[in-house]
Structure 1
Amino acid sequence: MAVHERPGLADATRGRILFGGDYNPEQWPEETWHEDVRLMREAGVNSVTLGVFSWAKLEPHPGAREFGWLDRLMDLMHDNGIGVVLATPTSSPPPWLGRLHPDTLPRTEDGSTEWWGGRQHFSHSSATYRRHAAAITEDLAARYAGHPALTMWHINNEYCTYDHGDEAAAAFRRWLREKYGTLDALNTAWGTAFWSQGYDSWDGILPPRTPHYLKNPTQVLDFRRFTSDMLLECYLAERDIVARHTPHIPVTTNFMPLFFGQDAWRWAGEEDVVSVDLYPDPRDPLGPQHGALVQDLTRSQARGPWMLMEQAAGPVNWRGVNHPKPRGLNRLWSLQAVARGADAVCYFQWRQSRQGAEKFHSGMVSHAGERGRTYQEVKQLGAELARISGEVTGGRIGADVAVLHDWHAWWASAQDGRPSTHVDHPAVLHAWHRALWESHLTTDFAHPEHDLSGYRLVVVPQLYLLTDAAIDNLLAYVRGGGTLVSGFLTGVADEDDRVRAGGMDARLRELFGIRTLHEWWPLEPGETVACDGFRGTLWSEEIEPDAETVAESVPYKGGELDGLPAVLRSGRAWYVSTLPEPDALRALLARVAAGAGARPVLDGLPAGVEAVRRGDLLFLLNHGREPVTVDVPGTHTDLLTGDPVTDTVALGRYGVVVLRP
């Protein structure tokens, strides 16, 4: 069945914001289940995810099927008006599978086995694993296909495994043969003339296991592509099973935020519902910007409303120091997700575990129980989400600005032996998105080969690798009247991680007004370079401009690059050869955006206040601890309280309003 014929998130929400989270009742005596349901109803929970880590409970020994407990839970949820997102339990196989079938266990690049006792201990390439995963999925789907509680399928969980074992090696060779066809083509793509790496047989090719010195970077790049594809095959196999039994029920699997291991553009095209897990650090002053970036990216992958599958109601358990969320922050960040397109707000998990590796990870019901602050805040949030659901769900967000991101470019830029190990793709991406976010410019994300014609401004924080198709797309966008701003180290390599002649594609050099890119000059941590009006960080470049085409230039001041351009503009194309400090980057992008006709949601907002329009609704979110007043000309109604608002609105600490004109 084609993706466009499948149901979507609206089929699961049915006009409501889904609210709930992962529920692991197998950790508790059955009498607790009824207490859980009472608390869920009081909190406005209308959705729970069941079965994520339940394979050993469902199949305690090979071939067994213990569905009775899940039958009772499904019935209990339905009787209480709570929908079920039913998970296939395949992310954590039972110990017997690894014991009886060691081939299902993944191996690290040095040959060590990853054993059972944790989670995600499966080889994506193992035929035995895939056979057992398909069998439990088939029986689960057949049993619950007609159950009235079922609203969505959740396949596996946080696909993130790598495998360098023998079965993965054989699969890697098959993948490479399909991609390249001949060994000559592979040797050319991988540049195996370097260091005597030429292959005379497919059998000689291995995953990039631990070498004496640096690995072949294109081999590593292809292995990352292969791993994403193998995990996607696992997802698709299970997705197709449940879709065959329930063509009317949408299917998802949860992304991790800006996760390195999956080409999420490709994955999103295979999901009915795009969902993500999001855990900003409550002590990080840029936590809300990180949340906004992940939300913008997920919304763009979904091309509309999306699902917040997991967040924490309080502290997590995996940071060095795990801080709780201050009073009001859980509400604020949940409503931020809704503002940026989420039609589902869910948590890991419902009740905080008393045993196991995540017993100090918070739950909607914490160890303090129903009298605890966490549950009381969850209950308040549930009531507010119910209050605004009818006017929010399905609402779209318009953006004049697109930020380009590509996993293949990220993978290639993370190679060893590069000019600077301090240039981190996600950090650069965050810096540029932050500048736009603090300017109150709503942004989508896009792949560099996507249609960009609907955007007034396209921003490329850094795309080290660009295909010819992507470069042609950028050129066509600018020729069509769009404004493009690119950061440093962009367009350096082709899809085989082969450095393009001149150190940057010639078409891009012409576009940006660069005659010659002589040298890259990376900076040490904490080192800056003076530019006219600001200071640059992280990176600089020795650029000779094309005086005939450059319309505007900001020079470096002093040092080896004195007088050479740090920033230059040719027509509608800008190139920024350093990373300006935050205030300078924000000012630059705000200026370029204004020239391109991209306008902020509101002008004159106090520091720390975020403004987002979703449909006709205006969300204002105060990320500060001090109360502020915001000018909102006209008459509005705050949907959270029902109160009228005229011309100004007061926002308390972590305050939120949702204004309808």
Structure 2
Amino acid sequence: MSHHFPAGIQYGGDYNPEQWPEETWAEDVKLMQEAGVTMVTIGVFSWAKIQPDYLCWEFDWLDRLMDLFAAHGIAVDLATGTASPPAWLVRLDEDVLPVTADGVRLEFGSRQHYCPSSSEYCKAAGKLVRKLAKRYAQHPALALWHIHNEYGDHVTECFCPASAARFREWLKRRYTTVEALNHAWGTAFWSQHYGSFKQIEPPRTAPGPVNPTQLLDWRRFCSYALLRLHRMEREILREHSPGVPVTTNFMSMFKALDYWEWARHEEIVSDDAYPDPADPASYVGAALNYDLMRSLKGGKPWLLLEQAPSAVSWRPVNVPKPPGLQRLWSLQALSRGADGIMYFQWRQSRAGAEKFHSALLPHRGTASRGWQETVRFGAELKRLAEVAGSRITAQAAIVLDWDSWWALEGTDHPSERMRWRELLRPWYEALHARGVAVDFVPPHADLTPYRLVLAPNLYLLRAEHAGRIAAYVHGGGHLVCGPFSGVVDEHDHLHTGGAPGPLRQVLGVVVDEFWPIPDGETVRVGAGADAPEASVWSEWLVAEGAETLLSYASGSLAGQPAVTRNVWGRGSARYLSCHLDADALGPVLDGALTEAEVLPVLDGAPPAGVEAVRRGPYLFLLNHTDREADTPALPGTDLLSGEQVHDRLRLGPLGAAVIRTAPSER
């Protein structure tokens, strides 16, 4: 961290002063101090104000703003402004604008209207970043550089000639020869052979299905193309302001960008999170995303850089957060490793596409309910300052591979219903309900710190990654692998001998045939009238040394193995050949959790809807229900109330406790 980065937990949000008369700034800073704001994000959409024309630069207003924050002890997360190019740039060269797969050039008038491969955009963005870096590198208000904004939110790909040329360059570096590319892409199929790299274009709209490996490489390239822009900005910032940390705001578990690779190129991971208040289970998905953010830098604290104080403006129906929910969900992010609780935005806009998006300072001003919650929570965060920097220790890990995600959701598969997030959710939900802490790990990770490794799906599995998993199990680790795994290699070619490919010996099974389940139908798994039912997917599974834990009890596969367990070296490996919901999957995972000796946060299970999370010595108890909850606890001091807690605690509706536990506890 830089010496300007504030201690404790950061609190604040995006501030867009260009939307307001300058006389408003002093009032805003005064109110920020009243609310306990420690940091603001500025400049996210300021390119047109900083550079109103090609040769015109106006920094005086930003100088005054930075000085104002410095004078009042408020740190600045200074954005580079490159997410929204000004009108003069796209009119100077309309090739800056992105082109869809159908050949339609997207117009100016929204945001993120640029082609990631545009040299004109790259040159102009680099010039802007260099001027910002030189001017503010030593400014006392600067605590953090904020590159761009939500990469890939609106434009993840461009199909213009410049993108095609950049794609060919990327392919040349990847494959060296066109012969190697032809092998990787399987171009012997459908007469797709290429005689040179010059013949290759992006996967634009075609008469029928496009080559699946071409699509996979295109996904890889598009993530790289945006990362290349991020790295360009980062190198400029590092050159002119070494020591000032850099971030860019991620968008939770986002398919288009390989966040494992992206996180390597920033000092602090940050996330924008917008769970839906209309969904009573949305807090489970939020927990999943926060665990990923914590995991991206090996457990280091991260920043929740954006969330809504109440309603958003972009859903078909935008439900506000009832009183107390903003506080509860913010504490949830803190419980899962966040050291900053920030919002979009500070002052609610009067014009534009987000004028109905809530803010810390709503349209009604300081008389509003929202403002009262803003002030109260700012005061509470000061009482939790000591939590900053503490870490979560997890005994279980979930393998997440963006390559496999992209390949899994390709075309012409046995079932289009096999989608990564839908496959993952029941696994995570079952662990969450049991109070089991979990990290996410890439497929190349060191697995030895974990007692249990879960792979809900690894459709694409490289031989070297399978070797790591096999060595982990053989050395005494425990694995649970989900269906449709070990199917293809890194080129999306089927593994010889069928699934689960290089995990066949570890799992002790082989798939004879994939058996997707039609929409609206289910098959029973296990004995008894109350046996759980699988939906979406099943497999004709043949045991090759593995014991059968559960068999299919109905449908075409009745009597065939459904869930198996295999001893491999000093460890064990379970395989689920079907898709189960969280209630049905939970008992299957219980066996693995017991065998691996993975412990929940609390000895006694909290009631349904109460979340228990341990962050270092701090136990967070969060009641996501609208009723009182009596829950097990650990002895210590509740930092929110100041009261002593023993072995049980009663939480009010949407209530929370943050207990500093005794050092000897668990």
Question: Which bracket does the TM-score occupy, shorter chain normalised?
Answer: over 0.9
> 1:286-334: CA deviations, max 9, x gaps?
2111110000000000221001111000111111111001111110010
> Does 1:452 pair with 2:462?
no
Contact 1:52 1:89 in 2 (8 A): yes
Contact 1:251 1:271 in 2 (8 A): yes
Please give the alpha-carbon distance, in whole angstroms, between the structure 2 residues aligned to 1:440 and 1:419: 35
Match 2:330 to one of 328, 334, 341: 334
Contact 1:13 1:343 in 2 (8 A): no
> 1:471-505: CA deviations, max 9, x gaps?
00110110110000011011111000111123314
Match 1:484 to one of 479, 483, 488: 479
Query: How far did 1:587 drift?
Result: 1.9
Report the counterpart of residue 112 of structure 1 in structure 2.
104
Match 2:35 to one of 28, 43, 46: 43
1:13-52 equivalences in 2 (<5 Å): 13-52=5-44
Report the counterpart of residue 629 of structure 1 in structure 2.
630
Aligned with 2:657: secondary structure?
strand
After TM superposition, the structure 1 stretch with the greater mean CA deviation from structure 2, 129-138 or 530-539, is: 530-539
Contact 2:4 2:140 in 1 (8 A): no
- The answer for unaligned runs of 5 or more in structure 1 is 1-6
Please give the alpha-carbon distance, in whole angstroms, between the structure 2 residues aligned to 1:313 and 1:449: 38
Structure 2 letter corresponding to 1:401: A
Structure 2 letter corresponding to 1:387: R
Query: How far did 1:367 drift?
Result: 1.6
Report the counterpart of residue 513 of structure 2 in structure 1.
519
Report the counterpart of residue 348 of structure 2 in structure 1.
352
1:354-393 equivalences in 2 (<5 Å): 354-389=350-385, 391-393=386-388
Contact 1:107 1:114 in 2 (8 A): yes
- The answer for unaligned runs of 5 or more in structure 2 is 662-666
After TM superposition, the structure 1 stretch with the greater mean CA deviation from structure 2, 502-511 or 60-69, is: 502-511
Aligned with 2:621: secondary structure?
strand
Contact 2:626 2:654 in 1 (8 A): yes
Please give the alpha-carbon distance, in whole angstroms, between the structure 2 residues aligned to 1:376 and 1:323: 19
Structure 1 letter corresponding to 2:659: L
Match 1:567 to one of 560, 563, 581: 563
Query: How far did 1:52 drift?
Result: 0.4
Match 2:83 to one of 91, 95, 100: 91
Aligned with 1:284: secondary structure?
coil
Please give the alpha-carbon distance, in whole angstroms, between the structure 1 residues aligned to 2:371 and 2:343: 12
Report the counterpart of residue 639 of structure 2 in structure 1.
639
> 1:541-584: CA deviations, max 9, x gaps?
011112xx223421001221011011000110000011123212
After TM superposition, the structure 1 stretch with the greater mean CA deviation from structure 2, 486-495 or 33-42, is: 33-42
1:102-501 equivalences in 2 (<5 Å): 102-160=94-152, 161=155, 162-303=157-298, 304-389=300-385, 391-501=386-496
> 1:171-206: CA deviations, max 9, x gaps?
000000010000100000001111111111211100
Please give the alpha-carbon distance, in whole angstroms, between the structure 1 residues aligned to 2:260 and 2:239: 24
> 1:245-282: CA deviations, max 9, x gaps?
11121000011111111110000011111111100111
> 1:521-546: CA deviations, max 9, x gaps?
11123321111132112110011112
> 1:626-653: CA deviations, max 9, x gaps?
00111225x3110011111122211001
Please give the alpha-carbon distance, in whole angstroms, between the structure 2 residues aligned to 1:92 and 1:113: 16
> Does 1:529 pair with 2:523?
yes
Contact 1:260 1:411 in 2 (8 A): yes
Query: How far did 1:448 drift?
Result: 1.2
Please give the alpha-carbon distance, in whole angstroms, between the structure 2 residues aligned to 1:465 and 1:13: 41
Contact 1:282 1:324 in 2 (8 A): yes
Report the counterpart of residue 664 of structure 2 in structure 1.
none
Please give the alpha-carbon distance, in whole angstroms, between the structure 1 residues aligned to 2:281 and 2:460: 28
Query: How far did 1:605 drift?
Result: 1.0
Query: How far did 1:368 drift?
Result: 2.1
Query: How far did 1:13 drift?
Result: 4.6
Contact 1:502 1:517 in 2 (8 A): no
Report the counterpart of residue 587 of structure 1 in structure 2.
587
Please give the alpha-carbon distance, in whole angstroms, between the structure 1 residues aligned to 2:435 and 2:111: 40
Please give the alpha-carbon distance, in whole angstroms, between the structure 2 residues aligned to 1:465 and 1:310: 33
Structure 1 letter corresponding to 2:235: D
Contact 2:14 2:344 in 1 (8 A): yes
Structure 1 letter corresponding to 2:618: L
Query: How far did 1:114 drift?
Result: 1.3
Contact 1:98 1:115 in 2 (8 A): no
Report the counterpart of residue 539 of structure 1 in structure 2.
537
Contact 1:365 1:375 in 2 (8 A): yes
Structure 2 letter corresponding to 1:432: W
Query: TM-score normalized by structure 2?
Result: 0.96
Query: Aligned in 2, Cα 1:12/1:333: closer, same or farther, shift over 3 Å?
Result: farther
> 1:424-476: CA deviations, max 9, x gaps?
11111122111111111000000011000000000001111011111001101
> 1:608-643: CA deviations, max 9, x gaps?
11111111111100111100111225x311001111
Aligned with 2:646: secondary structure?
strand
Aligned with 1:292: secondary structure?
helix
Contact 1:639 1:659 in 2 (8 A): yes
Query: How far did 1:12 drift?
Result: 6.0
Aligned with 1:592: secondary structure?
helix
Please give the alpha-carbon distance, in whole angstroms, between the structure 2 residues aligned to 1:466 and 1:381: 45
Query: How far did 1:506 drift?
Result: 3.7
Please give the alpha-carbon distance, in whole angstroms, between the structure 2 residues aligned to 1:412 and 1:420: 13
Report the counterpart of residue 578 of structure 2 in structure 1.
578
Contact 1:153 1:252 in 2 (8 A): yes
| TM-align CA RMSD | 1.2
> 1:397-439: CA deviations, max 9, x gaps?
0000000101111111111111111121111112211111111
Please give the alpha-carbon distance, in whole angstroms, between the structure 1 residues aligned to 2:44 and 2:503: 47
Which segments of structure 1 move beyond 4 Å, counting only runs of 4 or more? none
> 1:118-142: CA deviations, max 9, x gaps?
0001111111111100001100111
Report the counterpart of residue 60 of structure 1 in structure 2.
52
Aligned with 1:344: secondary structure?
strand
Please give the alpha-carbon distance, in whole angstroms, between the structure 1 residues aligned to 2:425 and 2:376: 32
Aligned with 1:37: secondary structure?
helix
Query: Aligned in 2, Cα 1:506/1:228: closer, same or farther, shift over 3 Å?
Result: closer
After TM superposition, the structure 1 stretch with the greater mean CA deviation from structure 2, 535-544 or 165-174, is: 535-544
Please give the alpha-carbon distance, in whole angstroms, between the structure 1 residues aligned to 2:281 and 2:497: 37
Please give the alpha-carbon distance, in whole angstroms, between the structure 1 residues aligned to 2:481 and 2:638: 39
Query: How far did 1:80 drift?
Result: 1.1
Please give the alpha-carbon distance, in whole angstroms, between the structure 2 residues aligned to 1:59 and 1:651: 52
Contact 1:58 1:66 in 2 (8 A): yes
After TM superposition, the structure 1 stretch with the greater mean CA deviation from structure 2, 450-459 or 193-202, is: 193-202
Contact 2:271 2:304 in 1 (8 A): yes
Report the counterpart of residue 617 of structure 1 in structure 2.
618
Structure 2 letter corresponding to 1:50: I
Aligned with 1:32: secondary structure?
helix
1:594-613 equivalences in 2 (<5 Å): 594-602=594-602, 603-613=604-614
Please give the alpha-carbon distance, in whole angstroms, between the structure 2 residues aligned to 1:558 and 1:396: 46
Structure 2 letter corresponding to 1:126: S
Structure 1 letter corresponding to 2:541: I
> 1:138-170: CA deviations, max 9, x gaps?
001111111100000000011103111000000
Aligned with 2:622: secondary structure?
strand
